[in-house]
Structure 1
Amino acid sequence: MPSKRMFTKRLGALVATGLGVSRPIGALTSEPPPAGTLAVNGAGDTGAAAGSSAKHSPPQQLHSAVANGVYKPAAVTSRGVDTVVTARFDPSLVTMTGVPQRVAAPIRELLSRYDSISLDRLQQVAGGTVLTTDGPEGCGVVVGDIDAQTLRRELAHDADLIQEPATKAGFTRFKSKRATTALGVRADEIVIGHATSISSAVAHRDAGISGRDAGHSRTDTDYGPLPARLRGDATVCVDLGTETREYLRRTLSDAPEALRTAVDAAAAVGVACSVTQDGSKHTESLSATPATSQHGTADTPTTTFRYGAVADPKRLDRETAEAIARAAREGESPFTDATVSRHGRTVIIETAADGDIFAPHAELTGVTVGDVESLSDS
């Protein structure tokens, strides 16, 4: 059973490294913000930028609530909620950038276990998770060219799963015998609920399918303008709670003072990553002076990052943000031309990483991500 300590450790690595998540591909889950901005077909989403790594457009007819941005994990749980995370990303990024070893292993295990799932045919992963008093709970969706008939047959013969007797909104449902996860499968979509108990995982999965919830207390999540300003091939937004903030303070004890100040002051933080194969700049640069990065080749794609924080300008002023940008530029594994812009209470830092995209993040934050491995279906 995942502990709160392990969840906050993963969250710290996720925010610090952009793509450095330490959970299987189907478990990268987070709550869509208002108006479905981080839904698979989110409001205001312009799709992948020109020259980006995205190879597909998601199917136009999506059926689950989590794919359409109306699933609210904080409304499903009856437990106290500390932190809410939202995310969406294009799975093709893992073949472009590589991933830390601890992430590569469970992805390979998933791909080898089910013949009907191919990394090359997955198009989007999105969802929501909350850190409760008992541990993480939430639901995610994997969207792509999925052979649902074959997958249902594989799942029905999986000794670790139980098929539930009825469908829900066209989804065939399964629950795990050993793990606290529950699945829903239909054409082009796999919905995955996870929690600290199987009954809660089933509740999150069903809410992720239908959008219905139990009407529990904390249903509002405030990311401010971050979802709109941090669009990219991968986007993560975090509504920070007390326990997670305290953990990040401890994790960043040796990080630059400006970065620790930003975490302490921010109500919400986020990161977006955009990858281009041909070295062309991202078409949606938000800075007055856009960050420029290395010229990408077939072996070294260009990776642009945007980091955002929503905070009181008196606590997170421009000087603090510029100090973070300087620390990013001057490290042993430096970012390229980090720039700062302010939009009301929101500060955006835009930059690019040369070579290994994980190394400069690890150096700046003190988070260990391990060796990076390439990943593909072959």
Structure 2
Amino acid sequence: MDTASTRPTAARPHPPVPLRQFRLPLRLAALGVLLLALIPVQASALRFVTMGDSRGYTVDAPLNTAVLAQVNQRIKALSPAPEFLVFLGDLSYRANIPVDGHDHYTYKTWLDFMRAPSTGLPASLPLYMVIGNHELYDEGLAPHAEASITLACQQAYQNFIQTNASSTFMPNVTSLNDNYKNLAYSFTSEDGKSLFVVLDGFYIATGPTQPYDGAGALNQTQRDYLQTTLSQSSAKTKFVFVHNPAFGPSTQPTTACVASSMCEFWKIVNDNKATAVFNGHDHLFSRVLVNSGFNGANPGYSFTKSIPQVIAGTCGAPISGTYDEPGKPPLAASWNGKLQFNYSVVDVDDSGPQAKVTINSYCGDGSGSWSLCDRYTNAPVTVAPADSLLLRSGGQGQ
């Protein structure tokens, strides 16, 4: 055998590639970088979702699981995904539905549904809670359960929050004090550019029960807390959440505060230039700009700013005018009212000297059909609507 034929053959070197073959890819890459630099920034610095009032209609069906599951699936499909969700209260028809004579609080039932893979939200999505009046109802007081709110339910709610607190459930909150722990509190975005203040419009200072007042109220302690928290913050955007709205379109399309304490509350919101206020309680959607046009109906108050009050008032609770909810008079066009289930997606772009805020709200009849029903922005849109990320999200049914 010829040994020469078994020697490994040295690989022949490839001929040098002409430099001009690299020039086109390099030019295309440079062009791509340039085009990316010229495209307006569409991705928001912060996105969060707000919704409320998922309660069912009876003690046998305390959660409206069908509609709540629909909303959760839509939130899961959002792109980009939200950083957190603020729930505006009224989780369940009753806070306490006794079983065999023993207390059975429904807060954990709601949370388990919200975290179940098939019906809920991703386990990684932080949830923040706003207490509503239904968190304070005890079916043990039937048939007068809705006539009173109870201290025992308020304490059980606080214990529920404390027991389940984690990195994805009420994380990094600073409460007013121990009495208001997880009822009145604040937190900030990771970059510190957005502040969030949550208040309790149905706080029970003494027990064991307190008469239910549909308008709710904000006491001096919480108003002082709001004033201090807003005034001392250097955040670009400041959002306030309370279950009951200061102005109630479900009663009539009036510009009068629903209660004197809520006028005091809005004065603080106005004077400290809050970005937006979010509420539940009224089972509809509404967005109204509270401005100087509200002064005439509120003697002694001067609202000089134009601040949106957004009511995302049902992701399950009976829509105003249906079931056991009384009928409501027609809302003035400026209230942007919708008698449908709803939720709102808030985008904050703080890349410029003034933060741009866009609130996209989605409405549905509960059958599975949802659509964009309202949009608010505090700044002009700088790109063609067809090219907007927010509109593309809306077009995808998000």
Q: TM-score range by the shorter chain?
A: under 0.3
Could you say which structure has the larger radius of gyration? 2
- Relative to the length of structure 2, the TM-score reads 0.27
Larger strand share, 1 or 2:
1
- Relative to the length of structure 1, the TM-score reads 0.28
